[in-house]
Structure 1
């Protein structure tokens, strides 16, 4: 007579390796920092004197809360506020990074919403994106038109938004799948 092994029983070593240790490692990378990359200026009509700026927006204890907080700030237009803010700020890319400045998730801002970018699926895909982004930055360096150079740099940054740190890739992909299902 043979007994069927219970499907609900898991060895303590498996529980530690699959559940406890990843949760502990993840908690060391929190809180997550939210920031926004965009174009700042003191005069809306003076494109020549505008400059790229990263605006820190705050911290959140989880990726889910960071996504919600970022979306709320963009929807309210509450990105560049405060005493040291710029009168004119055009948000371009939203970033969520962990304590070690590793990318958790990023997305382009268009028409008041964040288009979160799907993280790369492999290291080979990451290398292709780095190559293309480097090519775009090289083109930006060579052009004499400042507006075209800025546009090329933002195209490169939008590509690099997919370069989520390997530790966060699965979490980011799961979060994006959940938001698409909702």
Structure 2
């Protein structure tokens, strides 16, 4: 009797290497931290008088849940820097990171929604993004040195928008898959 390999079966080593081990490795990086980068300012001050701030939103056991929590908080306008009612916060970028601070997913915030950024597809693309973001940060440094704080903040924001694509290699496939599947609101 001759046994033929069925096309639907994969060797156990391949299954372990491609599916089981990456999931176990990602599980070691939990919980995920949800943070929001934005500009804080006091009522009555113009945006040039504002200051950059990172607000920690919370933790989550999965990327899907982290996306849901982040989207809900942005939609409700429920992100505050402190209990001070005079201090306003303008959210700009939402970031989900693992416990080693590797980026899992990030997106820009516009009109009360998060526009999640497609992760880089390769290390070469990541190097290109880093180069472009470094140029923008250099322009921000120069503008800040000239006392142009508003333009400096915009350069930093544009650099952060690019860097939102710098998803840790461990999470790239997961992030790309999450962005292909529509999430229920």
Scaled by the length of structure 1, the TM-score of the pair is 0.90
Contact 2:74–2:113, Cα closer than 8 Å, also in 1: yes
1:43–1:72: structure 2 CA closer, same or farther, 3 Å change rule?
Answer: same
Let me know the Cα RMSD of the aligned residues: 2.1
**Unaligned segments of structure 1, at least 5 residues:** none
1:105-155 C-alpha deviation (Å, 9 max, x unpaired): 000000000000000011111111111111111111112311111001100
Runs of at least 5 residues in structure 2 that lack an aligned partner in the other structure: none
1:177 to 149, 171, 180: 180
Pick aligned residue for 2:165 from 131, 155, 162: 162
Residues 1-182 of structure 1 mapped to structure 2, 5 A cutoff: 2-80=2-80, 83=83, 87-143=87-143, 144=146, 145-179=148-182
Q: Matches of 1:19 and 1:85 in 2, distance apart?
A: 48
Assess if the C-alpha contact under 8 Å between 1:102 and 1:164 holds in 2: yes
Query: Kindly tell me: are residues 10 and 139 of structure 1, through their superposed partners in 2, closer, same or farther at Cα, counting changes over 3 Å?
Result: closer
1:49-78 deviation digits (Å, cap 9, x = unpaired): 311000000011100111111000000001
1:21 and 1:170 map into 2 onto residues whose CA distance is 14
> Is this contact kept in 1: 2:96–2:104, CA < 8 A?
yes
Asked if the contact 1:80/1:86 (under 8 Å) is kept, the reply is: no
**SS of equivalent to 1:74:** helix
Corresponding pairs, count? 181
Q: Distance in 2 between matches of 1:44 and 1:129?
A: 37
Measured after TM superposition, the shift of residue 10 of structure 1 is 4.6
CA contact (8 A) 1:44 1:88 kept: no
